[in-house]
Amino acid sequence: MPVTVDREGAVAIVTLNRPEAMNALSRAMRASLGRAMQELDGDDSIRAVVLTGAGERAFTAGLDLKELGADTSNLGAANAEAAEENPVRAIEQCRKPVIGAINGVAITGGFELAIACDILIASENARFADTHARVGIMPGWGLSQKLSRLIGIARAKELSLSGNFIDARTAADWGLVNRVVPPADLLATAKRLAHDIAGADPAMVAAYKKLIDDGYALPFGEAIALEHRVSVAANSRVSAEDVEARRRAVIERGRRQKG
């Protein structure tokens, strides 16, 4: 199976499973990932997703260049909007939070897939590179626009125009990943955070994620106006009793975490 899905309660672990090919995104893998993410999006028992790669070498090395070299007609399909062809679209369309557990290299299309995730936890072995300029293929999954917004335009140009790698610590320093952990702790750390997210109200989490994403795509003033509209509409439906019950639950959870 090019993609496997394991379930642990309300958390699904999706694994890119071609370690012998550095988890390269073949057409079959893209289709499998698209189907898996669509199924998880529609599964009410799943509240958060962890995405990782099999083995220790690679999260994913990006598009399967051997397959692409044999048939360049696949390139146009790979840039399509459909989730079965475009793995970034498959991640972005999932209403459940997706945590990327970056176990090894994330290169070019793999870099794009990583930053499609909502949160990134990186192994100390993780490295990131954008080799589009060296391969001679323009990015089609958003990297040219997303990366500059994440780490700044000068750093984005440094990475994308040179094709150089950055290590996990540098990625954390630049704000690309949330944290860096030892390889042995990677999956456990990502799953622990996923279970924390899964413990919140799923409808609220989905709505809040959408608000953050929709606002991020707008100029700041328009984003603030969007938040105001959404807040007024949503909060008018909240009862005082619900707020009090949830406030008490938050206090109790804080006490448990402190202990």
State the DSSP string of 87-145. Answer: HHHHHHT-SS-EEEEE-SEEETHHHHHHHHSSEEEEETT-EEE--HHHHT----SSHHH
Q: Phi first, then psi: give them for residue 5, nearest 5 degrees.
A: -130, 125
Please state, as a whole number, how many other Cβ atoms lie within 10 Å of the Cβ of residue 57: 15
Residue 240 predicted with pLDDT over 90: no
3-class secondary-structure state, position 35: helix
Please report, for the chain, the start and end positions of each structural domain, with discontinuous segments joined by +.
3-198, 218-258
pLDDT for 143 beyond 80: yes
CATH 3.90.226.10 is held by the domain 3-198: yes
Statement: residue 90 has pLDDT above 70 = yes
Q: Residue 174 pLDDT > 70, yes or no?
A: yes
pLDDT tens digit sequence for 58-76? 999 999 877 765 555 555 5
Q: Looking at residue 80, what is its pLDDT?
A: 65
Report the pLDDT value the prediction gives residue 230, as an integer from 0 to 100: 97
What is the rounded CA–CA span in Å between residue 134 and residue 251?
53
Provide the pLDDT confidence category of residue 79 given band limits of 50, 70 and 90: low
Alpha-carbon distances of 237 from 55, 207, 228, rounded to whole Å: 47, 14, 15
Residue 136 has pLDDT above 80, yes or no: yes
